[in-house]
Structure 1
Amino acid sequence: MAFPKHSVLRALSVLILACVLVHCQAPLEPAEEDDVEPIKETNVPTVFAKPEPVQCPPECSCTAEGAVDCAGVDLTEFPAELSEETRHLSLQNNKIAEITVEHISHLHQLETLNLQNNWLTTDGLEDEGFEMLEELAYLYLANNKLTSAPKVLPSSLVSADFAANQLTRIYPYTFGHKPKLRSVYLHNNKLTDAGLPDHMFNASDNLEILTMSSNFLRTVPRNLPSNLYRLHLKSNKLEKIPAGAFDNLPNLRELYLPNNLLNNEGMDNETFSQLNSLECLDLSYNNLSVVPKGLPRNLVLLHLEKNSIRSLPGDALISVRNLEYLLLHNNKLRSRSIHPAAFQGLKKLHTLHMYNNLLERVPRGLPRRAKILMLLHNSISEIGRNDLSLLYTLTELNLSYNQLTNPKVHREAFRKLRVLEKLDLSGNGLHSVPMGLPRSLQVLEIKNNQLSSIPDGALTGMEKLGKIILSNNQLKLNSVYQGAWMELSALTTLDLSGNQLSHIPSDLPESLEYLYLQSNRISTVPASAFEGTPNIKGIFLRFNRLSVDSVDESSFAHLSNLQVLDIGTGNTDLPFKRDEEDDDKMMEEE
């Protein structure tokens, strides 16, 4: 049977079209794993893939961010096989004695290198290695055995710590030509003037902090960077400050020169006058006999303690009108050698320390806006009616360990101290609590005197008094006027230890939390002893005359807040005895 020609062609076209459709159609069923060529995952961009950790020495721990921590693992050699991608390397607290060029020359990305507290010596360091670390910003080499600093350090350096070595020599390019350098620590070394280059910080103009304390310098280093704002030269051998040494330091805010050999001949009236930004000047522990002149006007804190200052002329502090803290303790000042106008104009001065001097009485002309006045450990034997009358803003007054007696303390001496919060009269020769104490008091200390009485009304009106310390005196039960303690409605701490009390006071205030009665003559604790003190947390009765039979257990039963009951050794069989752990806990809380 013959087919027409056009029918054959149509059939052939249909067959070809069907084949094309079959090959182009996606399979409905997944192909077998062996028949399919593996396809790479493209749904997660590689930019978010977590980086692999850098190559890590076996003793160390590493992070993917390039931090390698080998601190304190007793390494005796620099770790090998460190990755070139290491950025922060911690090797402190080991026993590494040598670092060669081969060890570090490939660490081109290293930013922080901590080698503190190792066994490194100058011979064990190759200068060229540090110079190759072009990204190094922080270098810590403190507590090693270096005698000379590296000759060249990279210009990328931001901070360098060479403290507590044995350095005797610094080179021009150790810290020179470091535009990013901000801080250098060289304290506790053996540096002398001869071991420093003339331009130690040449082209390192951004240095802000320089610490060179505890060396053997006899003069202030020259050519210091103008951006310096903190300079430490404590505990050197400074005898003289050359003229102009600080003239080009307009940004210096803190200057520490204590514990040197400075005297007034070693400086002139212009030594500090150009330091217009200076706020803190420490000249303590030197040999000054008078307050230096020409002090900068913006000074806030002035340390002059532990010198040999014998007088304060009227113009000694005339330039420091912004002064807030003046520390003059441990000198040789007498009241008559302090000019009445010495503190005149110091309207911002609020803290004045003059303890451990030779003052015979309260100096005249004290700063009127003072808040804290420390006059302890002098020879003050009297307080006149007007000695404190202009100190309206005083909040803390310490007159402890002087030679005060009741006849020499005027009963109106404290009348103007209406905001006084803390008064310390300890260590004097007082026989009774002085009358006329400020009603604003929050803390009153009169320990280590010869108190035998608290006169009627001596504590009246002290509604803010929270703590009173009267330990180591001669108080007896009848030495205190009736109701004295009860009227102290804010009292939380009462210390009557080391007196001659035979009983527990019966008029204790409800607010009381801590009661110290150790080292008295108390022989009984009646059931009613603490009925009025439900808030009490600590009772101290050690070193009295108590026995098991003389203590009524029920006197403590209702004290739900009691944390420590200290009756002392020999009473451990008492069922209400607290343990020593509670004792420690309570003392920490107080």
Structure 2
Amino acid sequence: MMSLLCRRTIQTIFILVLLTELQVLCQDYETNYDDYDVEEESQPEVPFLVESYECARECICPYSYPFAMYCDHQKLKAIPDVPSHIHHLYLQYNEIEAITSKPFTNATSLRDINLSHNKLQSSRVEREAFTTLRHLIHLHLEHNNLEEVPPSLPKTLQRLHLGFNKISKIPADTIQKLTSITVLDLCNNRLTDAGIKGKALSGMKHLMQINMCNNRLKSMPSDLPESLLQLSVENNSISSIPEGYFKKTPKILSLRAARNKLKAVPYNAFNLSRLMDLNLGHNQLSKTFFIPKTLEHLYLNHNDYKELKVSLMCPSVDQDNPNKLTYLRIDNNKLRGPVDFHAYTCFPRMRMIFYGEQKKLEEYEPSAKE
């Protein structure tokens, strides 16, 4: 009896050990480096099924991360051939100028490509370069010399990073097909109002975040999809927000429009049911607008406010459904007295009002003698 019990115990331990080992081998690994972005896969493969364990000679394919190939910081001039089992390809910080389809001939399992910090030129990106990559989800092309959005990007793309390039327009025929995109980064380019005219972005039905900071926009981007949650247009030359602008994007959670030329916004511009974060710092605002109940963080620093009319910001008080504003920044305005104490009644969750230093009126307004 004891012998049988021992045998069963040993078998149970063996099975548990085996399952543990398989779990370790089957998981899709994630590195600790900041430059690498490896996501967990829903149906990972087992490393020992990779027959030849290939790797480009210029790169590193660690045994501990069998589906990744690291070719970064190698002064590469061209993309090496990518083995068929590779899912994550890292080519950042090289001297690559061109992208052709040849290196990706067998790399049909690629999910992530990082080609940031290279010397890519639009004229040297082959039109069919990405067409075979039918599982590609993330593509990093920031910090290059691209003047256009690369053509024929796969419809599977969910995150596209194009910041720090020379892109001046977004052709509708190039971008509208990318219906799976959730994050689109276009910061630090040369985008103009004419460059994003029409319905270039409206077809991106899953877009949640779009970044257009540090461009040449003079007006708010038009025809944004209803799915949008975060809009970033900091450091442009935007002078106004049209009445009813956010009717097409009612789900928006965060708007960052600091460092523009806004002089006024419609009173009900931000009467949105989900808005949580609003940054309008470094503009020329002086008129109070309505604050939605959901807003938690409001930045009005470096504007031209002489007073904050709390009764306009918060026209009614509902103790059962109080305003959620917890942080207000109003430094570097033209305020000459403390904030109305009624603010704490209207905003009972307020934790901090950063008043800071204010502008000197004589520096901004002509004297009576003039």
* Per-residue Cα deviation, 1:524-566 (whole angstroms, up to 9, x for no partner): xxxxxxxxxxxxxxxxxxxxxxxxxxxxxxxxxxxxxxxxxxx
Contact 1:182 1:208 in 2 (8 A): no
- Tell me what 1:431 maps to: 286
The match for 1:259 among 117, 122, 131 is: 117
Query: Which amino acid letter does the alignment assign opposite residue 333 of structure 2?
Result: N
Q: 1:482 to 1:210 in 2, by over 3 A?
A: closer
Q: 2:266 aligns with which of 395, 398, 410?
A: 410
| Superposed displacement of residue 482, structure 1 | 6.0
Residue 399 of structure 1 aligns with an amino acid whose one-letter code is A
2:308: which partner in 1? 454
Q: How far is the alpha carbon of 1:336 from its aligned partner?
A: 2.2
- What's the TM-score, normalizing by structure 1? 0.48
- For 1:405-450, what per-residue CA distance to the aligned partner results, in whole angstroms no more than 9, with x for missing partners? 12xx2223223x2210110111111124x31332321111111222
Alignment of 1:399 with 2:235, yes or no, is: no
Instruction: Tell me the CA shift for residue 481 of structure 1.
Output: 4.8
| Deviation of the 1:209 alpha carbon | 1.1
Structure-to-structure mapping, 1:129-278, within 5 angstroms: 179=51, 181=53, 208-222=67-81, 224-278=82-136
Counterpart of 1:362 (choices 200, 212, 220) is 220
Aligned residue for 2:236? 378
Q: Give the letter aligned to residue 295 of structure 2.
A: L
What residue ranges of structure 2 are gaps of 5+ in the alignment? 1-49, 317-321, 361-370
SS in structure 2 of the partner of residue 245 of structure 1: helix
Equivalent of residue 299 in structure 1, options 152, 157, 160: 157
Contact 1:361/1:379, CA 8 A, preserved across alignment: yes
**Shift, 1:219, TM fit:** 1.2
- Alignment-mate amino acid for residue 412 of structure 1: N
Q: CA deviation at 1:215?
A: 1.9
Change (3 A) 1:486 1:240: same
Q: Which has the higher contact order (CA 8 A, sep 6+)?
A: 2
Q: Distance in 1 between matches of 2:345 and 2:244?
A: 32
Over aligned residues, Cα RMSD in angstroms? 2.6
Which residue of 2 is the match for residue 345 of structure 1?
Answer: 203
CA deviation after TM superposition for structure 1 residue 486, in Å: 2.7
Q: How much has 1:268 moved relative to structure 2?
A: 2.3
Aligned counterparts, 1:418-497, within 5 A: 418-432=273-287, 434-460=288-314, 461=316, 463-477=323-337, 480-481=339-340, 483-497=342-356
Distance (Å, rounded) in 1 between the aligned partners of 2:130 and 2:254 = 32
Q: Secondary structure at the match of 1:477?
A: coil
On the 8 A contact 1:343/1:365 being kept in 2, the answer is yes
Range with bigger deviation, 396-405 or 385-394: 385-394
Larger mean CA deviation between 451-460 and 230-239 belongs to 451-460
Q: Is the 8 A contact 1:476 1:500 kept in 2?
A: no
Name the amino acid aligned to 1:340. Answer: G
One-letter amino acid matched to 1:495:
F
Q: Where does residue 42 of structure 2 map in the other structure?
A: none
Distance 1:458 1:287 in 2: 47
Q: Which amino acid aligns with 1:410?
A: P
Structure 1 pair 352–185 and aligned structure 2 pair: CA distance change class (3 A): farther
Give the C-alpha shift of residue 455 in structure 1.
Answer: 2.1
Measured after TM superposition, the shift of residue 185 of structure 1 is 10
> 1:58 is matched with which residue?
none
In 2, distance between residues paired with 1:455 and 1:183? 65
**Is the 8 Å Cα contact of residues 208 and 228 (structure 1) preserved in structure 2?**
yes
One-letter identity of the residue aligned with 2:342:
G
CA contact (8 A) 2:58 2:80 kept: no
Distance (whole Å) between structure 2 residues aligned to residue 362 and residue 491 of structure 1: 30
Q: CA deviation at 1:284?
A: 0.7
1:517 is matched with: none
Pair 402,431 (structure 1): closer, same or farther in 2 beyond 3 Å:
same
8 Å CA contact retained: 1:261, 1:287: yes
Whole-angstrom distance in 2 between the partners of 1:295 and 1:311: 16
Q: Which amino acid aligns with 1:443?
A: H
- 8 A contact 1:215–1:235 mirrored in 2: yes
Whole-angstrom distance in 2 between the partners of 1:349 and 1:182: 36
> 1:281 aligns to what SS in structure 2?
strand
1:367-420: CA deviation from partner (whole Å, max 9, x where unpaired): 2211111111111111110332211000000011111112xx2223223x2210
CA distance in 1: counterparts of 2:209 and 2:58, whole angstroms: 33
* Letter of the structure 1 residue corresponding to residue 329 of structure 2: I
Q: Distance in 1 between matches of 2:103 and 2:52?
A: 24
- Alignment partners' CA distance in 2, 1:420 and 1:208: 40
Higher Rg of the two aligned structures: 1
Q: Tell me the CA shift for residue 182 of structure 1.
A: 8.0
Post-superposition CA distance 1:161-192 (Å, at most 9, x none): xxxxxxxxxxxxxxxxx9474888967xxxxx
How far did residue 236 of structure 1 move?
A: 1.1
Structure 1 residue matching 2:108: 3-state secondary structure: coil
Tell me, yes or no, if the aligned pair for 2:258 and 2:283 is still in contact at 8 Å: yes
Any conservation in 2 of the 1:183–1:207 contact (CA below 8 Å)? Answer: no
Whether contact under 8 Å (1:281, 1:301) holds in the other structure is yes
Q: How does 1:487-566 map to 2 (within 5 A)?
A: 487-499=346-358
> 2: CA distance between counterparts of 1:316 and 1:439?
39
Note closer, same or farther for the CA distance 1:436–1:459 as it changes in structure 2 (3 Å cut): closer
Q: Which amino acid in 2 is paired with 1:435?
A: F
Q: Distance in 1 between matches of 2:80 and 2:55?
A: 16
- The number of aligned residues is 303
The residue that corresponds to 1:175 in the other structure is: none
